[in-house]
């Protein structure tokens, strides 16, 4: 009988499945991992919103402080998104008949709730608390970028483990005077007299796994 497969061909299958296979698999998985990892996908995420509310107009041009609307950032883990009543403080007078505000007026009058689409999708297995960061005088801009220039909110930073740890290893350069927490344009040159050690307690953010994975 003719030899169809030469003796050396016995090695092809082990090589293909034992060596090439895993190498290709690892390459594909790490390629996909990179593309779907938050480092890559979340930055720039900008969902549509039911109402054309603009941070550029309200926080930027009108200069309304972030905490007027996100009023729990200093006390709570989450930064509350304002109810329609907060909008109506102004809009029952300003642009009171605007079509762009129809959903806000209806919700404030007890109609269908106004449901904003989440911009930041943070995993359940990691723990985050706004109040700790705000009281340690980390400005909103460090994690959210120039929201005051955004017509529609976009995720500006990856909020990945690497991003969190980069600051936790060396928080000093990111601290600022308490009065500048929501000032998006602040730079250290604006407060040459500021000394982060003056408060007597220099922050010591957790770097151990249990600090963020509880």
Spatial distance between the Cα atoms of 49 and 117, rounded to a whole number of angstroms: 6
Show contacts with ligand HEC in window 70-109 (CB under 6 A): 70, 73, 78-79, 81-82, 86-87, 89-91, 94-95, 98, 100-101, 104
Question: Which has the closest alpha carbon to 153: 165, 162, 140?
Answer: 140
In the complex with ligand HEC, the residue whose CB is nearer, 8 or 99, is: 99
Residue list 109-168, contact with ligand HEC (CB under 6 A)? 116, 118-120, 122-123, 126-130, 132-134, 136, 138, 140, 142-144, 147-148, 153, 159-161, 163-165, 167-168
Cβ–Cβ < 8 Å for 77, 130: yes
CA distance 91 to 160: 37
| Token output for 125 | 């297995």
Residues in 164-193 at the binding interface with ligand HEC, rule: CB under 6 A: 164-165, 167-168, 171, 174, 181-182, 184
User: Which parts of 4-23 interact with ligand HEC (CB under 6 A)?
Assistant: none
Per CB under 6 A, which region of 7-15, 23-31, 57-65, 187-195 contacts ligand HEC? 57-65
| Whether the Cβ atoms of residue 147 and residue 153 lie closer than 8 Å to each other | yes
Grouping H, G, I as helix, E, B as strand and the rest as coil, residue 138 is strand
């Amino acid at each position: 009988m003719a030899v169809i497969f030469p003796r050396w061909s016995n090695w092809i299958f082990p090589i293909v499945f034992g060596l090439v296979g895993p190498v290709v698999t690892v390459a594909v998985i790490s390629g996909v991992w990179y593309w779907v990892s938050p480092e890559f996908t979340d930055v720039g995420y900008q969902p549509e919103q039911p109402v054309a509310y603009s941070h550029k107009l309200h926080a930027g041009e009108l200069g309304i402080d972030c905490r007027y609307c996100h009023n729990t950032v200093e006390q709570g883990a989450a930064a509350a998104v304002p109810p329609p009543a907060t909008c109506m403080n102004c809009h029952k007078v300003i642009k009171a008949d605007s079509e762009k505000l129809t959903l806000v007026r209806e919700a404030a009058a007890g109609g269908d709730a106004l449901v904003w689409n989440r911009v930041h999708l943070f995993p359940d297995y990691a723990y985050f608390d706004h109040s700790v960061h705000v009281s340690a005088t980390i400005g909103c801009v460090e994690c959210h970028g120039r929201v005051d220039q955004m017509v529609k909110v976009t995720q500006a930073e990856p909020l990945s483990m690497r991003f969190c740890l980069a600051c936790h290893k060396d928080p000093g350069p990111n601290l600022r005077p308490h009065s500048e927490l929501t000032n998006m344009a602040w730079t250290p040159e604006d407060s040459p007299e500021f000394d982060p050690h003056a408060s007597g307690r220099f922050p010591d953010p957790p770097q151990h796994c249990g600090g963020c994975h509880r």
